[in-house]
Amino acid sequence: MFCCGKNGNQQAQRNRMTRFRFSAEEVQEMHRRFQRMTNGSNFLTKNQFRDNMGLLGLETVQVLSDCLFQIIDEDQDGKIQFNEFLAYFDKITYGSQDEKAEISYKLIDQNRKGYFTLRDFQQTMQALIDSWVVMTGTAITNEIRDHLEKRVTYIFTQMDKNNDEKVSFIEYKGILASDPSLLDIFEFLRKGITISIKEATLKQDQIVLSEFYLIKDQAVDLFEMMIGLQQNRYSTTVQAKPNLISSLMFCQKKMKQNTNSQFGIQYLMGEEIDALSLRMSSTINVNKTRQQGAVQTSQIICATSQIGPFIHRGDQEIPIKIDYNLQSKESEETLDPELTDGLEKINYMTEDQIRDNYKEALIKIHELKQQTQQSLDRLEKMYQKKLEEFNIKKKKDIELAEKRRATIANINKKRKTALSVQFGHQNWNLVLNMMIGIQMAVKSVNALSDYEVTLKDFKLKYYFELMPKRTGNEKATFKVCKFFDYAPQVFNHIRKMFFIDNDNYLSSIGPETLLSSILKGDLSTLSELTSSGKSGSFFYYSQDGIYTLKTISKTEFTFMRHILYNYFKHLKDYRQSLIIKLFGMHKIILDDKKIHFIIMSNVFKTSHEINLRYDIKGSLHQRKTPNNADYTVARKDLNFLESHEKINIRIDKQSELLTQLCKDADFFAQNNIIDYSLLLGIHEINFLQTSSRTEIIHEQDQEDISIIQSKTGDKIYFFGIIDILTNFNTKKKIEYCCKRCFQGPDISAIPPHQYAERFKRFITNMFRNNI
């Protein structure tokens, strides 16, 4: 079975295999991977290991791959034997938390000292971050690097429980068990960048609000002054600007009393207001002296000491003494020429002209006051909405994190290692490039948060080159990987419609997931569900089970682009649609091979086991799964009829569900789509496990009709319509004509409107209540 040379070595290796937790089939698959990596040799060299690591094996990021090689090479002879290779994967797949923590610890304690220092930890984290930067082409500013250094230091201090500036394995595995998210440096890095963008936007909003507060208060004070509600401290020739000072001082007092305001008005407090008030006060007093003309300088100084200038500190008004030299050019420059001209014109106006202008100004100021208040109200509502959305998102992030942890735990129980995409897998480099491409594509639209989708967006595609920096030796080995992102703003909007934050999206399918798992001794990317050999297509789900990635044919890809506008409009009009949600549409060219793929939601994204699943088309011809098939294999239409199963839910929920399902079926008919099916999952609640029932009820959204609890409370139903990209084209029409003659009307390939009506009838009859 194994290429070990001598029979004795072969037997010894078989004996050592008994200590691993792999099944015989898994061992065979792992051996095939090892043979692929070594080109048929009995051992794996460091250079071969780098080549098989794909992008992670490039010279610019090979520090990380070399560290992994050293961990796997247990006897440190510079070669990885198959039993060492198997031992590593045995631990990261079926190992306990302590075993995984040991692998992770060795990645930091590379010299096997039995402890690591802050410097050791910084070097490892820097290698991971450098790998991420090179892989994704992301630029990290000095400010972000400073935050990262502080974060790394903080993590170390949290691990160093006894404060001896060393972290032992006991301390390390303790922190991994109690707070596994602490080491998510990439989550911190990505969200740190995103938060910087969001904080900049919020700060800009706060500044605009502050400016509106100032303008509003100026208008109010000026209006009150003009109608005689305020006592003017200055002569009538300088009424406008002195009132601006009082409004600034009033605004400052207001802001100091509301430093905890949710609108963040404190950004224009303190020295900024003080300096502005000081400049304005100085200008007013200079202007006043110019109007008085014959007043002596000593009198001016005396006057200013009584009425200003001053600044506010708390409840105190602190006078500022200024030397007003009327001949100073600096003082002359502070006088607004436009105001000077206006004041001069007043001297030549008649009393009636002044009265008429005063009335007109009063009306305009009153309108300004009203308009400013209305604008301010709108801005405050907008800001409150942003804060509310932020709080909702924060709550959803927490719930999603809890759900993700539970879902991962559930998936890990059922996952087959042979199907997990890890280094050595034939699609390892492809999946790695897909993850990087998705990350770059999402980042390219992340900054455009309030973008409105237009018709041109449905035809747009973005192009990315994923190849990182290469050395001369690597040019012959690695080719540029081309990545295309189709209709990015459209899918970004779809993600928003269903409350999917781009940060959380990348947490599931971005490359940071891979690098973080390496650090935690749990190497994982995507996990393969099925694979069809002829077309080379495959179907994967993200490591947390929330999203699925499916390769599709060029024909399906072209058809999806054709119906994308109608699909988008349908989802926008019917948020409760059961149609599978697409969150990304991409093409990748690697090794001269073009691969089209889409990112979709997972209908069964739950932490609870799906005990029974059905794939229902409404067709009866050859629609049966063998009864002895594994329970994870979907049963079909005939199986459902033979089981006498009936979906039993509340009548109002049933009506809502069937109404939406009919609208979805009509959409398919209008867009010439057939061969879609309803994916039905059933989770059976064990009443002995009372916590299970509580958790599953908490998991449901009361308005979501894709997850509904049975009327008796013992089951949870999951609904979703899948396989939506089959166009009733010429090929299908020929198939329909031929099969109908020989196989009857119950075949799957029938015209779209007939398919939709048959689909609706069959689904309606699946329910216990007749509507």
Confidence class for position 228, pLDDT limits 50, 70, 90? low
- For residue 531, list its beta bridge partners: 538
**Exposed/middle/buried for 526, CB within 10 Å: 0-12, 13-18, 19+?**
buried
Q: Look at residue 456 in the predicted model and tell me its pLDDT.
A: 93
Whether residue 545 contacts residue 451, with contact meaning beta carbons closer than 8 Å, is answered with no
CA 131 – CA 134 distance, rounded (Å): 5
The percent of residues in the chain predicted with pLDDT above 70, rounded, is 65
Whether residue 568 contacts residue 615, with contact meaning beta carbons closer than 8 Å, is answered with no
Residues 6+ apart with CB under 8 A from 268: 207, 210, 214, 255
For 608-628, the pLDDT digits (tens) are 889 999 999 999 988 999 988
Question: Roughly what angle, to the nearest 10 degrees, separates helices 118-136 and 62-72?
Answer: 120
Confidence class for position 387, pLDDT limits 50, 70, 90? low
- Mean of the pLDDT values across residues 285-294? 41
**Exposed/middle/buried for 380, CB within 10 Å: 0-12, 13-18, 19+?**
middle
Q: Cα(first)–Cα(last) distance of the chain, in Å?
A: 62
Q: Record the pTM.
A: 0.67
Beta strands in 455-536 (DSSP E): 461-465, 482-486, 526-532
Q: Look at residue 189 in the predicted model and tell me its pLDDT.
A: 64
Confidence class for position 280, pLDDT limits 50, 70, 90? very low
The percent of residues in the chain predicted with pLDDT above 90, rounded, is 28
- For residue 542, list its beta bridge partners: 526
Task: Report the mean per-residue pLDDT for the chain.
Answer: 74
Top mean-pLDDT range of 10-14, 300-304, 599-603 = 599-603
CA 604 – CA 616 distance, rounded (Å): 16
Q: Look at residue 395 in the predicted model and tell me its pLDDT.
A: 62
Q: Look at residue 638 in the predicted model and tell me its pLDDT.
A: 95
What single DSSP character describes residue 545?
S
CA 527 – CA 546 distance, rounded (Å): 12
Rg value, the chain, Cα:
35
CA atoms within 13 A on the CB side of 304: 24
For 524-538, the pLDDT digits (tens) are 556 665 443 344 467
- Joined together, the tokens standing for residue 234 give 């200055």
Question: Roughly what angle, to the nearest 10 degrees, separates helices 511-519 and 502-509?
Answer: 60
Dihedral through CA 483, CA 488, CA 494, CA 497, nearest 10? 120
Name the amino acid, one letter, at 325: N
Whether residue 196 contacts residue 356, with contact meaning beta carbons closer than 8 Å, is answered with no
DSSP string, 43-73: EE-HHHHHHHTGGGGSGGGHHHHHHHHHHH-
CA 64 – CA 336 distance, rounded (Å): 64
Closest Cα partner for 304 from 223, 353, 242? 242
Q: Look at residue 671 in the predicted model and tell me its pLDDT.
A: 97
Q: 339 vs 668, which has greater pLDDT?
A: 668
CA 523 – CA 515 distance, rounded (Å): 8
Whether residue 587 contacts residue 486, with contact meaning beta carbons closer than 8 Å, is answered with yes
Q: Look at residue 301 in the predicted model and tell me its pLDDT.
A: 30
Q: Look at residue 739 in the predicted model and tell me its pLDDT.
A: 78
CA 519 – CA 131 distance, rounded (Å): 12
- For residue 613, list its beta bridge partners: 681
CA 486 – CA 441 distance, rounded (Å): 9
- Joined together, the tokens standing for residue 151 give 């974060």
Confidence class for position 430, pLDDT limits 50, 70, 90? confident
The answer to whether residue 713 scores a pLDDT higher than 70 is yes
CA 162 – CA 603 distance, rounded (Å): 47
Relative to beta strand 316-319, strand 461-465 is: unpaired
CA 31 – CA 392 distance, rounded (Å): 48
Three-state secondary structure readout of 177-207: HHCHHHHCHHHHHHHHHHHHHHHHHHHHHHH
Residues 6+ apart with CB under 8 A from 456: none
The answer to whether residue 514 scores a pLDDT higher than 80 is no
Top mean-pLDDT range of 579-588, 596-605, 631-640 = 579-588
> Position of tokens 């010429």?
730
For 357-366, the pLDDT digits (tens) are 777 777 877 7
Question: Roughly what angle, to the nearest 10 degrees, separates helices 502-509 and 488-497?
Answer: 100
**Exposed/middle/buried for 367, CB within 10 Å: 0-12, 13-18, 19+?**
exposed
Closest Cα partner for 563 from 729, 741, 698? 729
Q: Look at residue 717 in the predicted model and tell me its pLDDT.
A: 95
Residue 78 Ramachandran class (φ > 0 left, ψ -120 to 50 alpha, else beta): left
- For residue 551, list its beta bridge partners: 597
The mean-pLDDT minimum among 378-382, 534-538, 548-552, 590-594 falls in: 534-538
- Mean of the pLDDT values across residues 553-562? 96
> Position of tokens 């001949």?
327
For 315-335, the pLDDT digits (tens) are 444 443 333 343 434 444 455
Q: Look at residue 127 in the predicted model and tell me its pLDDT.
A: 83
Q: Look at residue 627 in the predicted model and tell me its pLDDT.
A: 87
The answer to whether residue 148 scores a pLDDT higher than 90 is no
The mean-pLDDT minimum among 287-301, 633-647, 683-697, 729-743 falls in: 287-301
Q: 723 vs 449, which has greater pLDDT?
A: 723
- Joined together, the tokens standing for residue 287 give 């202007």
- Mean of the pLDDT values across residues 750-771? 90
The answer to whether residue 256 scores a pLDDT higher than 60 is no
